Every structure is written in C-alpha cells, then in structure tokens.
A and B are shown apart, each in its own frame.
Chain A
Amino acid sequence: METVVQILVSGLTLGAMYAASTIGLSLVWGAMGVLNMAHGALLTIGGYASYSAVLHVGLPWYLGLPAAMIVSFVVGLLIYHIIFRFMYRHPAFETNVIIATVGLAIFLEQVTLLIYGAYPFLQPFSIEEGFFVSGVFVRFQNVVILVLAVATMLLVAALLSRTRMGRAIRATALNREAAQLMGVNVGRVFAQVMGIAGVVAAISGVMLSSITTLAPTMGYDPMLKAFIICVIAGLGNVPGALIAAFILGLFEAVVQFAVGVRFGFPALLLLVIIALIWRPYGVFGRRQVRRV
C-alpha cells in the first residue's frame, strides 16, 4: 500500500509538471508552427526570477510565482519581437526557427549561468510541511503543484475557447492565411501566444525547481519530456498532451521504482518509439491530409 501511494504521489507530481511544460510548447507549435527549443530556457528564467524576487527584491515567498510569471511573459514577448517577427513570413520558417531557438536556448542558458553561477540554489516558493497518507509523508508542495497545474490547464483552455483572443489564436492555428483575410492580426496573435507560453513556462519552472533545485540547465530535461509528450499526443493537441503527461508521469514513476531511477527516461523513450511505430502521427493525433 505504501509503495502504491508513493508511486502515485510522485507519478502525479511528475505528470502535473510535464503537463504544465507541455502546454506552452504545444500551444506555440499549434498556433505558430514553431518548435520552440528555447522553451526550457523560459522555464529556467521563471525559476530564477522567483528566486530573485524573493531573495534580492525582498518580496514575500508567495509572490515569487507571480513575479516569475511577469518576467517570463516579458521574455516571451521579447523573443517574438526580436526574433520571430522577422522570420515568420519566410517560406523556410519552420526549419529556420528550430535552429534559431536552439541558438537562443544556449544564449539564455549562458546568461543565466553568468548572472547566477552554477550553484544549486533552493526555490523559495516552496512549502516544507506536509501530511501523512497511509504512512507516506506527502509535502503540501506536491499538492500545490498538482492544483497549480490543473488550474493552469483549465485557465488556458478557457482562454482559448471563451475569449476573443482565444478565438483569434485558434483561427490562426487552423489556417493562418484565412485568419489574416478575416482581419486577424497574425503578428499580434503570435506575440500573445509567446506571452502565454512564457507565463505557463514560468509556472512549471517554479514548480520544478521547488522539488529539485535551481540550475541553469534545469529546463532542458523537462523540455525533452514535454517534447516526447507532444510527440505522443500529436503536436498542437493540448487535451491529448495532458492525458499523455499524466500517463507518462505515472509510467516513469513505476519504472523508476521497479527497475531503477536511471532507466526512467530510457523506458519512456522506448514506449514512445513503440507507440509511434504503431501510430506515426501520435496516439491522439490525426493523420494530416494535405492537398497538393
């Protein structure tokens, strides 16, 4: 029983964090066709922004998260205005942008390293207390992570389905030219999407660093896993990504417990490759038929 609870707690926490990292990635891909390799860097910036807001600015610990959201929001907007804005009309945009964001990722990582160094700081936005569930100690932080992740998803979903902005984003995702012809300002939609992606990345960055530590490269691993989840779910499919995130989080927790921590990620990858050979467009993805 204790093991089951332990696996459930760690699996759900992992799943919640993967889900939060995945939303931003999936949204950016769905709306803009951008595979954002700098998403991990946005996560990292969020984590450090919360740290700085509390330690250097002197805000109370619970304001770390809002501060991080604001900082990553601004960085997301800047990425659009400094890089994407000049690229998205180019026919080879989807290829070039991958390379550009790889460069950006390294750039941002190095900036973080230069400012903070490689010392593994602790995230102040964290609650040490906890409670017992059938003999297993559960930190409140794990609950906070789960609640935050679910709330974020619901908010993003509501934003996409209920607001004017969301409608414009969905229209752009469906067909950029048609949306443009209907008077949607595509550039502004892209900027909004990058801003939202920044906010969501900040949330997952703060959550992630609250159960590990801050490090300039901390965003890389969750980003890779978010990629895998996107691949499984089909890029751009937000609800599918959420289900996949929780399933894979639980799967990883089981493998880590049963076989060993170092085999968690390899097992995940193996599962994904098998799934993809079975369904090349993602488990929840539909085959895209393109007219020639």
Chain B
Amino acid sequence: MFETGPNWRRDVAFGAVLIAVLIAIPFLGPSRYFIGQLTLFFIWATVVSQWNLVFGVAGIFSLAQMAIFAFGGFATGMMGLYLGISLWFTLVLAGVGSILFSIIIGLACLRLRGPYVALLTLAIAQVMYLLIITDTACFYMEGVTCRNFTGGTRGLAKFGDFGFRELLGRREYLKGDYYLSLFLLVLATVFSFAIIRSPLGFAFRALRDNPEYGVSRGLSRFKYQLLVFAMSAFFTGLAGGVFAGHFRVIGANVLSLPLLLFLISMMVVGGLGRAWGPILGAALVMLADEGMKDFVEIRNMGYGALIVAIVVLLPQGAAGGLEQVWDWGRRQVLALRGGADRPAAGRAGEGRRE
C-alpha cells in the first residue's frame, strides 16, 4: 500500500529517537521557560507540517493556514466560553469545524491557480483579522464592562484550559500542555508522512509537478486539491485549539503578518515539500529566534533577510541540504565496504523533493 521509500528505516529510527528524547526532557528538570518554548515549537511544527502538505507537496499557494489555525483556536475558545463545555470536547469539535471551514475556503479559492490562490487566501485572512479587531458591539456584559463576541482587540479569554492545573498542580501543569502538544505533533507528522508516501501523495505531487499530465491521466485537480486542503485543516485546527488552551487566550494577533511570515520561514528554511522539512525548519527558525531575542528591533528584519537568503541560495531548504549530505555519506560508506552494490545514481539527493 505505502511506498516506504529508500530511507524508511532511517526515518522511523530517527523519529523514535526524537520522540524518546522529547518525552524524557521534562524529567531532566529544565526551566519552565524551556518547556514553554518547546510546547510552542510543537504547536508551530504541527501547523507547518500540515501547511507543507498543502504548499509543498500539493503545490497550492495557500496562505490560509493561519486563518484555519485561528478558526480552530477561536472555535475552541468560544464554545468553551459560551457553551461552558470542557475544552477537550470543544477541541475535537473545533478540529472537525476547521475541516468544514477549509472546505468553504477551498471551494472559493481552488478553482483558481497559482498566485491567485495566494492573493485570495491572504485577503480572507486579512478580512478575518479586520472583522475581529473592529468588533466593538457588546455581546454580553461582565459586570459593567462590555465584552465582544470575538474578544475584539483584547482577545478572547476566560474560557478555561485543559484542566492540567487541577490535575498536576500549579508547578507542574506546563508538562501537561507539553505532552499534549507533543502528542499532537507526533500524530500530525505521522499523518503527513503517511499522506506523502501513499498513492494520494503521488496524486498530489503529480498535480504539482505536471498538472497537464496528471489531469490527462484522469486525476481531478479540483477534487484532489480540495481533499488535501480539508485533510490538512484538521490538525491545523487542533493546533489552534491547543494554542488557545495553553495560553488561555486567543486573539486576532495569530492572524498578523509577522506570525504568518514566521511560519512561512519555517517551511522555507526546512525545505518545501520535504517530509522532515517542517520539524527541522521550525527548530532552526525558533533557535534563530532565541538568538535574536536580545535584538528585538532587528528580529523581524532578520527573518526577512533569512527568508530571502534561503530562497536565493538554498532553494531546497535545510532538509534538502541534509539529504544530500546523507546520500553522500552513504555512498562513502558503501564505497568503503567494497562498492559492489553502490547506488548508480550519482547525485541521488538532488531531485528527490517529496
């Protein structure tokens, strides 16, 4: 069923080691700040892994990922606040709702091609942003203060969290969020690997690399693109919900341009369409972000320059670069062993964008 790929065992082994290390980290007594940053890393990497399916693998220029993320976050928070149900429950509802939301966006945008999709999805995100921050109508009164339906400029708060505070206590509750978001990232990554290496993944890539040929072999462009759009929305929406529950607040700032850029840079730095790209990219960009913490003023400038430099100098991203190094290393090892079953392809790593 699945094309396991030449490096299947490497991927599984690497993934298992990574998960083991990440599970162990909270027991080594790190600072609360470190745990918090890693939690955020899991959330962003989840979003980027799903965005990569749409943008990198299926080749749709969608900038709607943060709109879907915001939808998941706001849906989780609003249902928690207005219906008074547990966030665990609203989180799942929000994930399903995100699928529907993305299908609506997809129906409007996916008839278009290439840059038109980028324009329209960006405009949709901007409209959401504007409608939220200009929301001044009173939805309910809290004492004498007026609260807006969407939270307005202040953001939506007071919808509770995932209950780790009661369960683990004030000092330890961050670990609950940590494991929850790690679990989410693992699921999302396994999901994206499965998609990339399944027949569906081939269809997406065919429509990306040569749409005319794909269509003439019987693939419906609209159907498959809508499918990948909807599939990637579920974990994106869940990530939004986890984000809202972790910070106990969600605001229009998740739709801001700098954050969008932050996540695009993760995708680009990691390598568009590469299976390991999102995790690698999210880690590298967040590390760079830590490094630039003391230079708040030039931080965004740094991202901007970084993105330009990566696109110009290393279009296949860090994952692509590592892949080349890996293939080179493997060839050297095989050559040392006698070189009888040396792979024929000279530069195997280059063209293999997943």
Contact = CB atoms under 8 A, between A and B. Distances in A.
Contact of B304 (A94, A110, A114, A230): A110
Interface string A237-278: 000000000000000000000000010011001001100110
Interface of B is mostly: helix
Given A94-B115, A103-B304, A290-B212, 18 more contacts: A29-B115, A95-B59, A96-B311, A98-B115, A98-B118, A99-B268, A103-B303, A103-B308, A108-B304, A110-B297, A110-B304, A114-B298, A217-B257, A228-B120, A231-B112, A231-B116, A266-B131, A280-B111
A111 to B, nearest CB: 7
Interface of A: 29, 35, 83, 86-87, 90, 92, 94-100, 102-111, 113-114, 217, 220-221, 224, 227-228, 230-231, 235, 262, 265-266, 269, 272-273, 276-277, 280, 290, 292
Contacts of B308: 83, 100, 103-104, 107
A220 B311 contact: no
B307 A90 contact: no
Contacts of B301: 106-107, 110-111, 114
A231 B118 CA distance: 10
Contacts of A273: 108, 120
Nearest to B307: A103
B124 interface: yes
23 contacts: A35-B115, A87-B312, A96-B315, A98-B118, A99-B268, A100-B311, A103-B265, A104-B308, A106-B258, A106-B304, A107-B304, A114-B297, A114-B298, A227-B123, A231-B116, A235-B115, A262-B134, A265-B127, A266-B127, A266-B130, A269-B123, A277-B111, A292-B213
Contacts of A87: 311-312
A95 B304 contact: no
Given A107-B301, A231-B116, A86 B312 contact: yes
Given A220-B257, A276-B112, A104 B61 contact: no
B122 interface: yes
A227 B298 CA distance: 28
Contacts of A103: 261, 265, 303-308, 311
Which of B130, B297, B304 has the most chain A CB atoms inside 10 A of its CB? B304
Contacts of B312: 83, 86-87, 100
B152 to A, nearest CB: 12
B300 interface: yes
Nearest to A267: B127
Interface size class of B (residues with CB under 8 A): 35 or more
A104 B300 CA distance: 11
A40 B119 CA distance: 14
B7 interface: no
Contacts of B47: none
A217 B212 CA distance: 40
Interface string B287-316: 000000000011011011111100110010
Nearest to B117: A231
Interface of B: 59, 61, 108, 111-112, 114-116, 118-120, 122-124, 126-127, 130-131, 134, 212-213, 216, 257-258, 261, 264-265, 268, 272, 297-298, 300-301, 303-308, 311-312, 315
Contacts, number: 118
Nearest to B215: A292
A10 to B, nearest CB: 19
Contact of A106 (B127, B257, B268): B257
Contacts of B300: 106-107, 109-110
Contacts of B118: 35, 98
Contacts of A277: 108, 111
A228 B122 CA distance: 10
A265 B133 CA distance: 13
Given A104-B304, A107-B305, A230 B120 contact: no
A84 B319 CA distance: 24
Contact of B216 (A29, A228, A292): A292
Nearest to A234: B116
A269 B265 CA distance: 27
Given A105-B304, A262-B131, A292-B212, A98 B120 contact: no
Nearest to A110: B301
Contacts of B127: 265-266, 269
Nearest to B216: A292
Nearest to B306: A103
Contacts of B264: 99, 102
B311 A235 contact: no
Contact of B119 (A95, A105, A230): A230
A217 B258 CA distance: 11
